[in-house]
Amino acid sequence: MHYTLNQLQVFLKVAQTQSVTKTAEALHLTQPAISIQLKNFQDQFDIPLTEVVGRKIYITEFGKEIAKAAEEIINQVNAINQKTLQYKGQLAGRLKITIVSTAKYVMPYFLSDFLKRNPGIELLMDVTNKLRVIDSLADNEVDFSMVSILPDKLQLEHIDLLPNKLFLVGSAKASFDESRPLSEQLDELNWIYREKGSGTRQMMEAFVEQNHWAIAKKLELTSNEAVKQAVIAGLGFSIMPLIGIKNELNNGDLKIYPIEGLPQSTMWQLVWMKGKNHSPVTAAFLDYIKKEAQSIIQQKFEWYLKY
């Protein structure tokens, strides 16, 4: 057998996600590249590692055993690399983070310089929904998470990073009765919501309830990007985080519609379980954030702070 470390990494990620698409996104490769690596790896075994039913890929029992062995090999290789760097006096290890989907517009800016200064650190960041983020914290699967609304049932420590400002947003070409104030027409409009469990959905529902609007027309979508594209297409209005619509505002696809009570703000927070024992890598990252957060905010989010 002549499988490569890269093939092991690809197969392990496929086993974890049960999706070629998600594996390609996670490893920053194209789907055809993942499919080729997967085929080349499978060709070295007489027993199937996967099976496809309909459009979904499943891992066979044999494949699960190979995935477990692949994970052990990859962990050993990472340990060797880390020990080499440590002997050179460099910080080395893994930094595992989960973030809610809209935090993808925020978190990278707080990681970039830290990772450049410490090339021996491997970042594992999962961009997912709020429920998965909470589960990853509760199960101690990650070092840190980024959320905009703290979960109620977990004992967490946190650092406030950046306000999460939410505005009423519609297509720049949206039409409504201009002879009446927009605030009097909101319960007549089509509203586009995020899925249940989303922090944005939670805030939006509270705002609608607070204003006693009887929303008759509602569309529910499962990502901020999907909501954004639906609003651009003229399917309705939504209350959206400003952080994810900078380009669309600049190029005139979207427009902020001012109404009383908005914007509302939550807070992007870096969170971790209370009492967590930090590794040298996570302790160094926490120290970096405490020292550099305000400088990063001023440099990278100057446009945002003006709203």
Give pLDDT tens digits for 117-157.
Answer: 998 898 999 998 888 899 999 999 899 999 999 888 899 99
Residue 295's pLDDT band, with cuts at 50, 70 and 90, is: very high
Q: Decide: helix, strand or coil at residue 249.
A: helix
pLDDT of residue 282: 94
pLDDT of residue 264: 92
Is pLDDT of 304 > 70? Answer: yes
Reading the block at residue 86, the tokens are 């440590």
Q: Which residues, 6 or more positions from 170, have their beta carbon under 8 angstroms from its beta carbon?
A: 231, 236, 237, 238, 254, 255, 257
Residue 90's pLDDT band, with cuts at 50, 70 and 90, is: confident
d(CA 233, CA 228): 9
Of 219, 215, 227, 206, the residue nearest 185 (C-alpha): 215
pLDDT of residue 214: 81
Mean pLDDT along residues 258-284: 92
Lowest mean pLDDT among 44-53, 85-94, 97-106, 205-214: 85-94
Give 67-126 as a DSSP string: HHHHHHHHHHHHHHHHHHHHHTT---EEEEEEEEGGGGGTHHHHHHHHHHH-TTEEEEEE
Lowest mean pLDDT among 72-81, 105-114, 251-260: 72-81
Q: Decide: helix, strand or coil at residue 185.
A: coil
d(CA 76, CA 167): 48
Over pLDDT 70: what percentage of the chain? 98
**pLDDT tens readout for residues 58-86:** 999 999 999 999 999 988 887 787 777 66
d(CA 61, CA 28): 27
Angle at 217 between CA 212 and CA 223, to 5 degrees: 100
What's the mean per-residue pLDDT of the chain?
90
Mean pLDDT along residues 103-110: 95
The answer to whether 102 and 202 are in contact (CB under 8 A) is no
Is pLDDT of 195 > 70? Answer: yes
The answer to whether 172 and 255 are in contact (CB under 8 A) is yes
Which stretches within the chain are classed as H helix? 5-17, 20-27, 31-42, 61-87, 107-117, 130-138, 199-210, 224-232, 246-250, 280-300, 302-305
Lowest mean pLDDT among 18-27, 75-84, 219-228, 257-266: 75-84
